[in-house]
Amino acid sequence: MLQLVRYVEQPRVCSYLPDEQASLDVCEMVDVTPEEFEAMLVRGWRRFGSWYFRPQCQACWKCIGLRIVVNRFSPSRSQRRARRDASSLRRVVSIPTLDKARLDLCSRWHASREVARGWGENSINGERYTSDFLFPHPCARESAFYDGDRLVGLGLFDETPNAISAACFFYDPDHEGSLGTVNVMSLVEDAQEHGREHVYLGFRVQDCPSLRYKSSFVEHELLEGRPGMHEIPMWRRGER
């Protein structure tokens, strides 16, 4: 892999916890192999496009890496119900792409979050979508959920030799059902089918309503600290 840029952000207001100051360790890299990316995943890094990042906040440690242990996963009653309710949907996994249906879905979903969760306005255009989701990477995948011919949900994720990493999921705000839950369960099923050990869900932030759901997937593990690339990462069993 070739590192182009690396820096630590100046502290800013946290987008998850407005009373906290946030800072990210950020690097831009190209030619990252699946094995190299997995070594970063297991140490708490995330990827969007060519950018890799993880928290570097000095005063707050509430963003904690979380991964599902595939061979110990046990869905809850509500998760099983969500999966049954979505049984009529068609799911297509492919390399990420862009068309009007995807761009419209992303825009409508974000607009609904602005109202429901107070997110800041964020205009999604083709250029922004391409830079965030369509950077050519050997691990990049998308899973599209269709109700008939209508696109109702889209998940962006990465596949590495031993893991799947969920990056982003957006959905039709008018569609009934828990599509976010269905997306995660589908990734667990993919991992089970192909013998992958973990599904990474990014950061657990218990005090943030948008991210609290991650702890509901059991069994899961939580990353301890922020291990360097030459340190052995330690994951502990998460609480229910």
Query: How far apart are alpha carbons 172 and 210 in whole angstroms?
Result: 17
Strands of 163-171's sheet, edge to edge?
90-94, 140-147, 150-160, 163-171, 198-204, 64-69, 220-223, 235-237
> Which of 196, 197, 202 is CA-nearest to residue 215?
202
Q: Nearest Cα to 33, choosing from 194, 200, 158?
A: 158
User: Does 148 fall in a domain?
Assistant: yes
In tens, the pLDDT along 136-185 reads 999 999 999 999 999 999 999 999 999 999 999 999 988 877 899 999 99
User: Which two structure tokens, joined as six digits, stand for 136?
Assistant: 């050519």
The alpha helices in the chain, defined as continuous H runs, are 34-41, 77-85, 100-117, 126-133, 179-194
Q: Are strands 24-30 and 51-55 parallel, antiparallel or unpaired?
A: antiparallel
Angle formed by the axes of helices 179-194 and 77-85, nearest 10°: 90
Q: DSSP character for 49? A: T
Asked if residue 36 belongs to a domain, the reply is no
**12 domain-assigned:** no
Whether 96 is in a domain gets the answer: yes
**Is 98 part of any domain?**
yes
Q: What is the CATH number of the domain that holds 172?
A: 3.40.630.30
pLDDT tens column, 145-158: 999 999 999 999 99
Residue 8 lies in a domain: no
Dump pLDDT digits (tens) for 200-229.
999 999 888 888 889 999 999 999 999 999
Residue 176, domain extent: 64-237
* Structural domain total, the chain: 1
Q: For Cα atoms 84, 70, 54, give the angle at the middle one, nearest 5 degrees.
A: 110
Q: Would residue 26 count as lying in a domain?
A: no
Question: CA 18 to CA 161: how far, in whole Å?
Answer: 37
